[in-house]
Structure formats: structure tokens, C-alpha cells
Amino acid sequence: MRLSFELFLSLRHLKSKKRERFISIATFICLLGVSLGVMALIVVLSVMNGFQEAIKEKILALSAHVLVLNHQGPFLPEEASEKLKGLKEISSLSPMVLTQLMVSSDYASSGAVLRGITREAPELSYLQERLLDGERNLKSGEVWIGVELSKILGVRVGDRLRLVSPSGRFHPFGMIPRVKDVVISGIFQAGMYDYDVALILAPLEDAQSFLSLGNKVTHLAIRVKDIYQAHTVSKQIQRLLGGFFLTRDWMEMNKNLFYALRMERRVMFILLSLIVAVGAFNIIGVLMMSVMERRREIAILRSMGAQKKTILKIFLYQGLLIGTIGTFIGTLGGIILSLNISRITNMLETLFGLKFLPPDVYYITEVPSKLDLTDTVAIVILALSLSLLSSLYPAWKASNLDPVEVLRYE
């Protein structure tokens, strides 16, 4: 396939005048700037996507997709479950008791959240796999607590805890708080600080007895087949139950967290885009130097009949070639790094004896990464657009050179 005249000259212009070097130092710096910027953007956004995905997985494993409660207080689970039988989008439904309380040991006390669950509750099987110590079966009179809470209270498996609920019993002498002594049978590491520092798991019957609820529950935990349809299903459940029932989906419950992650991602995108912009705008300097070096050649081409748009295309193509090559190298490097980031970090940790993500701080052993096609395409378009924009002024300047004036003085 034959190259167009303009493209052929653009390729020749990429070479410096010293024939032994393929590319000039200035052009190489441009290529490097664009490549590094594109690569950094792809890798950082992939890692942030990975972190967001990891957080989402843990949230969904530990909490309901849709949570049902009643404004009037505890309710019989059968009241709600009977009305929801025909809803095909629901995959599981579990009664639950959820309450805030104080927990104390012989050494310290702390605020916590008591969650009374059934043996079929999905979070129970998830936490069974994450028990650091203790029995896999949660029995009556026993509780599981998070690893951070165990550190605060200075306790371990087999120690006793005292649960104190602010919703006590009325007495002629005032309000008497509810108190219950329990034994720690398990310590888990959920992988999220909020759960590890405050969550206490107990059998549903124990929680009901502690709060004198009888057969009633405070919440209904619902899991749906498609997590991204949770909001729609939540509204359907709200309509079916009516009355004083209220529903909240997992996205609504964690709205602030995901909003913060999105904002952080946008800020990182803007900041790292500046690297691409600097690399791309260096093209202006390279092309302006190229125009100055080739003033005589441009003048000769114009005097031989070359039109202004031909000269314009030559330098536009030159700038786009620099941008395209840099973007291609950066995209390829970014994809390779993103797909192998865990392997690379593990290798560096082994080589230098470092820990990029200490498990006791970040609760993960590997750097997560999720390469997103939309992000990659957006980064490529951004880099190419900036390269084109940077090429416009030098190309226009070259096309408007007066050949008579140039040849008169050169």
C-alpha cells in the first residue's frame, strides 16, 4: 500500500538531520511523556477499579442486598415473607435482629452492633471461612466478634463478654438496661474495618430473647439474583409490603462510601491526565523546532506548487504520529502492567523484602486490578485529542510561511 505524500514526508521528519539517529531527543521525550502518562492512567484506574470491586464484594458478602424494616418497630417475619413469595427476583430471605449496644470485658468496653442471624444466613458461611480462631458452629449462648473488637476488649476465644442494651425494661425505680453474659466462640476477620471493629454475631433466638422480642425481628435481609437490580427490586418490595414497611438497597446503604470512591477516581484521572497533557503539549515545541529547521524545504515545496493544506497535513500528521506511537506504547504497557500488577508487586516484595499492602492495615494480600475497556478507550481518545490539538498551531504556522521571504534570506 502506497503512503500519501504528506504521510511519507511526516515519517521522514520524525528522523533527525543526523542520519545515524532514528529519532531526535526532543521527539523521544515527547513519546516518553505521552507513553508514561497513558500507562500511569490505565494502571492507576485499573487498581482503583480493583479496590472498588474488592470493597463491593465484601460489602455484598456481609450485608443484605435489600434490607426491610418497619417504622413501628419489631415485626413477625411471616408478615413480610408471605407477601414476597411470588417475587422471582429474590434468591434468599433471612430474618434478622440488629441493634446497637455496649459490650464490656474485664479489661475494657466499647460500642458495638449485635446481629442475630439464622444458621442459613449467607454472611455466616462467609465468616466461617474467615475465622482466625474458634469453632465454625455458632451455638446458643455464644458469639463471634471481629478481630479489631477483640483487640480493643483484650479478649480471646473462651473469654466472657457482657452485652448491655440501652433499650431496657421499665421499673418503678427507672429504666433497667438489658444485660446478658455470653462466651466468645469465634474471632473473625471480615476484611472491612467497620465490621471487624464493631460487629458481634449471635444466634437469632439469643438476640430475640435478649431484647424480649418473642418471635419478632427488627429486619428482614433479602438477597436478589441480580445485584444491580437491587434498587428496582427494593421499590417493588416496598410497594408489595406497603404500610409502615421501609426498604433500603445495598447501594443506598453504602452511598457515601461509593461516592467517595468515585470522587477519588475522578480526581486521580484529572491529576494523571496532566502528565499526558504535558507530554502532548511538548509536541508544540518539537513541531515548532521542526518548522524552523525545515523553513527552506517548506519554501521550496510551496514554490513547486504545494498547497497550504498539504504543508498543514504534513505537520499535523507528524504530531499525530508522535501522539499515536506514544499512546500505543503507553496503552500496551498499561494493559500488560494492569493484568500482571499482583505478580509484579509480589516479585518486588520478595526481591526487596517490602510489603506494599500490609494485611493488618489493608486487609488484602494482593494489589487488586480490574482493567476496564471504557476507561482504556477514553484514555486513548484523550491522548490522541491532545496530540492533535498540540499539532494545530505549528502546522498552521508552517502552512502560512511566505516562500518568497524564506528563500530571499536563506
- State whether residue 339 is helix, strand or coil: helix
In the predicted model, what is the mean pLDDT of residues 369-374? 91
Name the pTM for this structure: 0.79
Model pLDDT, residue 108: 93
Pairwise CA distance, residues 293 & 301, whole Å:
14
Within this chain, do residues 308 and 388 fall inside the same structural domain, yes or no? yes
DSSP state of 217: B
User: Is pLDDT of 19 > 60?
Assistant: no
Pairwise CA distance, residues 138 & 164, whole Å:
20
End-to-end Cα distance, the chain: 37
- How confident is residue 43, by pLDDT bands cut at 50, 70 and 90? very high
Within this chain, do residues 98 and 186 fall inside the same structural domain, yes or no? yes
Quote the domain boundaries for residue 293: 5-56+257-409
Within this chain, do residues 270 and 405 fall inside the same structural domain, yes or no? yes
Model pLDDT, residue 406: 59
User: Does a structural domain hold residue 240?
Assistant: no
Radius of gyration for the alpha carbons in the chain, expressed in angstroms and rounded: 32
Joined grid coordinates for residue 183: 462466651
Pairwise CA distance, residues 270 & 2, whole Å:
40
Within this chain, do residues 287 and 349 fall inside the same structural domain, yes or no? yes
Model pLDDT, residue 371: 92
User: Does a structural domain hold residue 152?
Assistant: yes
Within this chain, do residues 119 and 193 fall inside the same structural domain, yes or no? yes
User: Is pLDDT of 231 > 80?
Assistant: yes
Model pLDDT, residue 11: 66
How far apart, in Å, are the Cα atoms of 309 and each of 314, 315, 332, 371? Answer: 9, 10, 33, 40
User: Is pLDDT of 343 > 50?
Assistant: yes
Domain termination site, one of 201, 217, 233 = 217
Within this chain, do residues 12 and 100 fall inside the same structural domain, yes or no? no
- State whether residue 95 is helix, strand or coil: strand
User: Does a structural domain hold residue 232?
Assistant: no
Model pLDDT, residue 330: 94
Within this chain, do residues 181 and 37 fall inside the same structural domain, yes or no? no
Within this chain, do residues 163 and 44 fall inside the same structural domain, yes or no? no
Within this chain, do residues 403 and 264 fall inside the same structural domain, yes or no? yes
- State whether residue 154 is helix, strand or coil: coil
Within this chain, do residues 263 and 405 fall inside the same structural domain, yes or no? yes
Backbone angles phi, psi at 111, to 5 degrees: -75, 150
Pairwise CA distance, residues 295 & 403, whole Å:
8
Pairwise CA distance, residues 64 & 98, whole Å:
12
Please count the other Cβ atoms lying within 10 Å of the Cβ belonging to residue 74. 18
User: Is pLDDT of 17 > 90?
Assistant: no
Model pLDDT, residue 20: 37
Asked if 105 and 150 count as a contact pair (C-beta separation under 8 A), the reply is no
User: Does a structural domain hold residue 85?
Assistant: no
Among the residues of 193-254, which ranges form H helices?
193-198, 204-210, 230-241, 250-253
pLDDT one-digit tens code per residue, 125-175: 899 999 999 888 899 999 999 999 999 999 999 999 999 988 766 666 556
Within 13 Å and on the Cβ side, how many CA atoms surround 107?
10
Pairwise CA distance, residues 118 & 137, whole Å:
12
User: Does a structural domain hold residue 327?
Assistant: yes
In the predicted model, what is the mean pLDDT of residues 291-316? 76
Model pLDDT, residue 362: 60
User: Is pLDDT of 407 > 80?
Assistant: no
DSSP E strand boundaries for 147-241: 160-171, 174-188, 199-203, 219-224
User: Is pLDDT of 51 > 90?
Assistant: no
Pairwise CA distance, residues 44 & 186, whole Å:
37
- Structurally, the chain folds into a number of domains equal to 2
pLDDT one-digit tens code per residue, 61-102: 888 999 999 988 899 888 888 888 888 899 989 999 999 999
Within this chain, do residues 265 and 405 fall inside the same structural domain, yes or no? yes
Model pLDDT, residue 22: 40
Domain termination site, one of 188, 217, 246 = 217
User: Does a structural domain hold residue 222?
Assistant: no
User: Does a structural domain hold residue 247?
Assistant: no
The letter for the amino acid at 174 is: G
Longest pairwise C-alpha distance within the chain: 111
User: Does a structural domain hold residue 304?
Assistant: yes
Within this chain, do residues 49 and 97 fall inside the same structural domain, yes or no? no
- Mean pLDDT (the chain) is 85
Domain termination site, one of 193, 217, 241 = 217
